[in-house]
Structure 1
Amino acid sequence: MLTGSFTFVAMTYNVWGDAHLEQREPALRDLFATRAPDLLATQELRPRTREVLDEALPGHARVHDDFPGWGGQSNLWWRTELFELVEYGRRDVGILAADAGLFWVRLRPLAGDAPPIVFSTAHLTWPGHPDERQDGRNRRTGQAQRVVAALDEIAGDGAALFTVDINDIGPPLWELGNGGFLDSFTALGRTSPVTHPVSPMPFTTGIGTRLSPLGSPAKAIDWIFSRGPITTRASEVVEFFSAGSAPSDHKPVAATFTLPSGAAPAGAGTTSNQGEK
């Protein structure tokens, strides 16, 4: 490791709201007892799953804000012995769900002289949304474009991580790549393993979706993207079961990154006020 550099583990996880939570909760707790990351981004969060994560991550803090999206859509956790919060916010990027958006925090590493990092997440619109089914127009491409534009403003040329349940396998990924973001597998010359759906799922029945008798195809839709002065060291899709149960219908993605030593570049840190909506 370079002198003054700072290495940490980030994870993104769609925690499946409170679906089958009674059956999943022990596995969810066991996952974070075993594999607690330094940074955690969540999608499909609900007040009860947020409470479970708070209890499972006693060495972490998260955003506390009355805006309902921080408890009903996404939130971000960080290990308090490694990071401190500088500011946070949410941007509307056109996601078709109540209180959804781009959720972000700016964090300052507490060791060495590594620069601050913007850590963010979003859950792009499901392809089965009624509006998309009616007109057949892909909503995620424009949402990805707006995410890039927002992070251009929020992070500038500084280090940034964007985590996402992208709900797609094509155009929105390309928009992020063309916006300068590199996923944690491509950065290592690899392709991502499947992240959804988890199988077997012992407490669900049937193979079809609610819109079709066809089973959901195996796909990689959960990602960690990076941009700016940050180096990807390792990346994995985490395989985890506890007592025969999976914590979610998605698999978490975890990646290790290193921030270099030195001051933040010009342009980083010029954003809206803390708690923006």
Structure 2
Amino acid sequence: MLTGSFTFVAMTYNLWGDWHLEQREPAIRDLFTTRPPDLLATQELRPRSRAVVDEAMPGHARVHDDFPGWGTQSNLWWRRELFDLVEHGTRDVGILDAGARLFWVRLRPRAGGARTLVFSTAHLTWPGHAREREDGRNLRTGQARQVAAALDEISGDEACLFTVDINDIGQPLWELGNSGFLDSFTALGRTSPVTHPVSPLPFATGRGTRLSPLGSPSKAIDWIFSRGPIATRASEVVDFFSSGNAPSDHHPVAATFTLPSKQGERP
């Protein structure tokens, strides 16, 4: 580690809403008790799953805000002994779900003289949304473009992490890449393992999806992107089960990053 630099672990996780949540609660609790990240971003959050995460990570803080989406869509956690909250907010980036936004925090590391960091998350619209089925137009491409523009305004030249369930494998990823974001696997010369669906999934009932008899193909749709003065050190799709149960139908993605010091060292 460079003198004055600061290294930490970030994780992104789609918590699968209320689906089978009662059965999954022990596995969610075990995951975050066993390997709590320094920064956590969630999608498909619900008040009950948020309470489980709070219980499992008592050394972490999160955003408390009256906007409903912080309890029904996403929230962001940070380890108190490592980070202080500077500010937080949301941006409407065209995601078609109640309370869905780009959620972000600006954090200041408490040690090492490192620069501030913008940490953010979003859950782009599901391809099965009625509007997309009606006209066949990919909604996520425009949403990714709006995310990149919003983060341009919020973070500028600051270090920025954007975590996402992107619900796609093509154009929205290209939009982010062409906006200067690099995912945590490409940064290391790798390709991402599958993040969805988790297999075996003990809560699966039948095969196919709500809209088709075809099963969901294995794919990487959960990502941690970085931009600005920050370096990727390691990246992993986490394979975790507790007593045979999966915490979600998605795998979490965890990555290790280093922020440079304020003195201008390269990460």
Relative to the length of structure 2, the TM-score reads: 0.98
The separation in 1 between residues aligned to 2:210 and 2:145, in whole angstroms, is: 29
One-letter amino acid of the counterpart of residue 40, structure 1:
L
Deviations 1:40-88 (A, max 9, x none): 0000001111111111110000000011000000000000000000000
Question: 2:170 matched to which residue of 1?
Answer: 170
- SS of 1:213's equivalent in the other structure is coil
The separation in 2 between residues aligned to 1:120 and 1:160, in whole angstroms, is: 8
Q: How does 1:69-148 map to 2 (within 5 A)?
A: 69-148=69-148
Q: How does 1:212-231 map to 2 (within 5 A)?
A: 212-231=212-231
Question: 1:19 matched to which residue of 2?
Answer: 19
The separation in 1 between residues aligned to 2:150 and 2:203, in whole angstroms, is: 39
Displacement after TM superposition at 1:203 (Å): 2.2
Instruction: Please give the root-mean-square deviation of Cα atoms over the aligned residues, in Å.
Output: 0.8
One-letter amino acid of the counterpart of residue 211, structure 1:
L
Contact 1:89 1:105 survives alignment (8 Å): yes
Question: 2:204 matched to which residue of 1?
Answer: 204
The separation in 1 between residues aligned to 2:205 and 2:70, in whole angstroms, is: 31
Provide the identity percentage: 83
**Structure 1 regions of 5+ residues with no counterpart?**
265-277
How many residues are treated as equivalent by the alignment? 264
The separation in 1 between residues aligned to 2:263 and 2:19, in whole angstroms, is: 44
Question: 1:195 matched to which residue of 2?
Answer: 195
Contact 1:164 1:224 survives alignment (8 Å): yes
Displacement after TM superposition at 1:238 (Å): 0.1
Question: 1:271 matched to which residue of 2?
Answer: none
**Structure 2 regions of 5+ residues with no counterpart?**
none
Deviations 1:179-229 (A, max 9, x none): 000000000000000000001111221121010000000000000000000
Displacement after TM superposition at 1:149 (Å): 0.3
The separation in 2 between residues aligned to 1:263 and 1:19, in whole angstroms, is: 48
One-letter amino acid of the counterpart of residue 47, structure 1:
P
One-letter amino acid of the counterpart of residue 108, structure 1:
R
Question: 2:244 matched to which residue of 1?
Answer: 244
- SS of 2:54's equivalent in the other structure is helix
The separation in 1 between residues aligned to 2:112 and 2:40, in whole angstroms, is: 22
